[in-house]
Chain A
């Protein structure tokens, strides 16, 4: 039986950011995760947007969103993930909404940076915008990240600073004993650990974890969101959305988004899902997305390449961050804008821990610097044509210029599944011709040949 100060249940973006924050103090911390890698639940399925705001401003999620947005530059630098403030343009397509947005601007400017953009300015910023555009609001603080990278880098930081990550450990029971908790987890055999504090960031299953200590105060409702990805790098440069006049639950939120690599994503929608594991996309989802977002533009982006769904872990309208039992903290119902709020949530959880008596003693901590850009990317992206040194490197993925070295480095850093390697390096995301080569590398490195989940074997040898 192992003893810890803090046990974090769930290695999504929230669990990893809490672990990262805890790793800066002299504590024994463990993260228990059901799947073999981080961020494979709601994190992977989200759109990667760092929101400039969330309504209502006085809600918990509204406050944590503003706070998290401000922290993001420092987090990106400290952990080494890509983050770009691309900005959000909200578009008014008729005169009435053009008047409304000026009122919105007046109200919003108390909380964050926002500018009014006249029609001509929007057209110069986004040449593909619809002719109907009358004006718009610009939020310069909106940004984009790769959510899997952001989560993975937080894990890496936490691990470097002593946090133990235990994968494929599905928590099946929590018992309270005097001043600590006994946590039982199962996968191949049962294991019990003890911890003084427990943090429940189990995403879609946070209600089940809370139930184990007798807290039945909330229920997680899965909210499915579909996305369409286009490989059309110069279609738009900002996150764009039309001002919604009549809220329609089925297509609530979402926009025409850009990814950190410059691809275009349209989505997400919001569809009630009866099943927490239902990540399917159907014809109607795609039609609805295209119908909604194409109104913002003159034409459609070229080359739609994929569709995907993520499942939001929703519990009512707001986040649930509370302590139903002494030394047990729920961080549940982290729906949009959870990714943005993650660093602020981690800070809040630390405050709660400190207030409930956990001693946070500073310790020196380290962070690992980012590796150099590979030679192929240097040639294509930076125009550097003469490289003075010899390379031993070879391309695996031509579409996104990923080398053997990068894939091997990612595996060295702890990536263990195909989707993790894919999302972190960008390999096999274009034409996917290189997928067998990536599998071969995984095989040579002795990894199990799995896509994302525990039993998601792709091939066998």
Chain B
């Protein structure tokens, strides 16, 4: 580890792509990830329609991980915690920790907070883990990926409706019972929302940010573009 020039936090698509692009330029980099589950693409891979939609990136990721090893460890500031030991590092840090979906309040979702409200990200992960997240699902948001999600969930037997809306109000005590979107009521037991993403950097790591932490999107073309451009800037 001491002979590495760069430490990459995050072993998802942009982390691994970063390591590969650096290696192509003769620069050593070591990738660390807390969970080693293949990042977000690891979730998409388990869901047929999304697997197809993201096929290009999933295949690329699988190819890349054949040559690039992802080590299990969490980067906390200037310290790296690996299962088994804690180590100080002295390499340059590249941050490829991706993003998370904005939360209900930031998406103008008010009302009560019963069970059955999911961000797109958590809904997809739960489904990929084999959980059923409800029966009658209302999806509120505006993004091309939502149409794929709609098809995916429809095929899995969910009753699903996709809506755009600005103001959302949830009713229900134990579980979602009704959702009001811009004044119109929908009876449903589940709400999935999407209104953009924010950078995931809970330890406020200092370093160069690459990939989805900047792009904040479900559009992996943009993730790829940001990573490639970032590396270009870095090498110059």
A residues neighboring B (CB under 8 Å)? 277-283, 286, 304-309, 375-376, 379-380, 385-387, 390-395, 398-399, 430-433, 435-436, 439-440, 443, 449-461
Contacts and interface: CB of A to CB of B under 8 A. Distances in A.
Contact of A305 (B34, B77, B106, B113): B106
A175 B121 CA distance: 51
A149 to B, nearest CB: 20
A379 B79 contact: yes
B198 interface: yes
B230 interface: no
Contacts of B173: 277, 279, 453
B130 interface: yes
Contacts of A432: 100, 103, 119, 122
A381 B167 CA distance: 39
B120 to A, nearest CB: 12
A454 B134 CA distance: 17
A52 B234 CA distance: 56
Contact of B126 (A306, A436, A451): A436
A398 B203 contact: yes
Given A393-B83, A456-B175, A430 B202 contact: yes
A309 B114 CA distance: 12
A426 B119 CA distance: 19
Interface stretch (B13-21, B61-69, B84-92): B84-92
Given A281-B110, A432-B122, A457 B115 contact: yes
A421 to B, nearest CB: 14
Nearest to A455: B174
B86 A459 contact: no
A283 B110 contact: yes
A260 B211 CA distance: 35
B94 interface: no
B74 A395 contact: yes
Contacts of A286: 110
A451 B76 contact: no
A280 B111 contact: yes
A460 B131 contact: yes
23 contacts: A280-B110, A280-B111, A281-B110, A281-B112, A282-B111, A282-B169, A305-B103, A375-B86, A379-B76, A380-B77, A385-B79, A387-B85, A390-B85, A395-B34, A398-B74, A398-B202, A431-B200, A433-B100, A452-B115, A455-B175, A456-B175, A458-B116, A460-B132
Contacts of B131: 436, 439, 443, 449, 459-461
A455 B174 CA distance: 6
A380 B116 CA distance: 33
B152 interface: no
Contact of A282 (B101, B110, B115, B202): B110
Contact of A451 (B114, B167, B170): B114
Nearest to B98: A433
Given A375-B86, A435-B122, 19 more contacts: A286-B110, A306-B104, A306-B105, A375-B81, A376-B76, A379-B77, A380-B77, A387-B85, A391-B83, A399-B202, A431-B200, A433-B122, A450-B115, A455-B175, A456-B115, A457-B115, A458-B133, A459-B134, A461-B132
A188 B101 CA distance: 39
B81 A376 contact: yes
B51 interface: no
Contacts of A306: 103-105
B129 interface: yes
Given A376-B81, A393-B83, A398-B34, A431 B122 contact: no
B125 interface: yes
B171 interface: yes
A278 to B, nearest CB: 7
Contacts of A452: 115
A450 B175 CA distance: 10
Given A280-B111, A461-B132, A433 B200 contact: yes
Contacts of B130: 461
Nearest to A390: B84
A431 B125 contact: no
B83 A387 contact: no
A281 B122 CA distance: 23
A307 B111 CA distance: 9
B81 A279 contact: no
B53 to A, nearest CB: 20
Nearest to B128: A436
A431 B103 contact: yes
